[in-house]
Each structure stands twice: as structure tokens, then as C-alpha cells.
Amino acid sequence: MALPNERCAPGDVCCEDLFGSAERILQVAYDAVCNCSVVDCDLPEMAGYVSMGRNVEDPVSDYVAVTVIDVRPSPRSADQQGNMQLPMYRARFQVKLLETGWPTPQGDGDEIIVPPPSLVQNVSRHSYSHGEAMYRALGGALTARTLNASCGTCFQRIEALVPVEASGGSVGWQTEIVLGMDW
């Protein structure tokens, strides 16, 4: 069965927990980043979406994306022979913030103009702020236990906040959220 496309209105789905949790994570992270942006100039609008796979290659320049990395049986959900004892799984979600505007060297004929350190520091300040806002909001949502569409009392964890290396004028942050699923 093929997935619906723009000509075919998607209907109901048979399972909603993974996507529902991804959407909840996205909403928290996206709102935090958008509410943090206080730059008073004409900047590209931030996109927010749920996608597939660890390496998001979607043609979007400024975004917060949530993807499922994997879903696996939780530790101690199987006996020593590997037989499932409890219907419990853990889903790992990647939350990635990527923003354009990172200063890069510019060429002007034979001369290369390197961005001044003050510009790099100012842009870094904003990037750090957006990453911190996203991470703090996700941590708060975990404390409030509002991210899991399947089970509000199940296992949950936030992993390290890791910078996304500057590349092609973009920079960002990523983290992982692990949620127990009581299927």
C-alpha cells in the first residue's frame, strides 16, 4: 500500500501513539524556539514538522523537526529466554533545530572576507538561546508528563543537548527524548 500524497486526502490511521507523541514533542520544542526569537528584522519563518529517520534531508532551511529513531522492547520486558513478559516498549525521538544565518567567509574576486568574531559571537548567542529554550521546555514537559500520547505514567528521559555543527551557513541543536509505550 502506498502512502497518501497531495492528491489523496489522508484518512484515519490504525495506530496513533508514535505520531501523537512526536507531535506533542514538536509542539513544545517549536513553541519554545518561536517564542524565544526576539530578533527585530525580516527573517525566514521557522517550519515545524514530524518527519522520518535520523538524518532529516527535507528541503527546508529553518526548522524544528521530530523523528523516530527507533522503537524497541524496554529492558526487563522479556524473560531470560527472550519471551515478552510485559507489553512495554521504548521509543526514541530525535528533536532537531536547524537555523540559517551562520556567518561564513565570503569571496569578493581574489579576496576572502572572514566574518568578524563579534558577529560570530552575536549569532552564537542567539543560537545558544534558542537551543536552551527548546531544551528547557522539553524538560518541563517531561516533568509535567505531557509528552506521551500512549502513557502519561510510563518511563521517560531526555538525553544531552548537542550542537549541530555549522555547515553551509546553518547551525543548530539536537536532543533525544525517550518515552515508554505501554502497548
Residue 55's domain is classified under what CATH number? 3.30.2000
Is residue 139 assigned to a domain? yes
Residue 91's domain comprises 17-181
User: Cα–Cα distance between 55 and 50 in angstroms, integer?
Assistant: 13
pLDDT at 96: 96
pLDDT of residue 109: 78
What digits encode the pLDDT tens for the residues 109-122?
788 889 999 999 99
- Domain count of the fold of the chain: 1
In a domain, 5, yes or no: no
Residues of the chain with pLDDT under 50: none
DSSP the chain: -PPP-TTS-----S--HHHHHHHHHHHHHHHHHHHH----S--PPPEEEEEESSS---S-SSEEEEEEEEEEEPTTSB-TTS-B-S--EEEEEEEEEEEE-----EEETTEEEPPPHHHHHHHHHHHHHHHHHHHHHHHHHHHHT-S-SS-TTS-EEE---EEEEEETTEEEEEEEEEEEE--
pLDDT value for 42:
63
Evaluate whether residue 126 is within a structural domain.
Answer: yes
User: Do the domain assignments include residue 177?
Assistant: yes
Residue 65 lies in a domain: yes
Q: Is residue 8 part of a domain?
A: no
Query: Is 149 inside a domain boundary?
Result: yes
In a domain, 137, yes or no: yes
- For the chain, give the mean pLDDT: 87
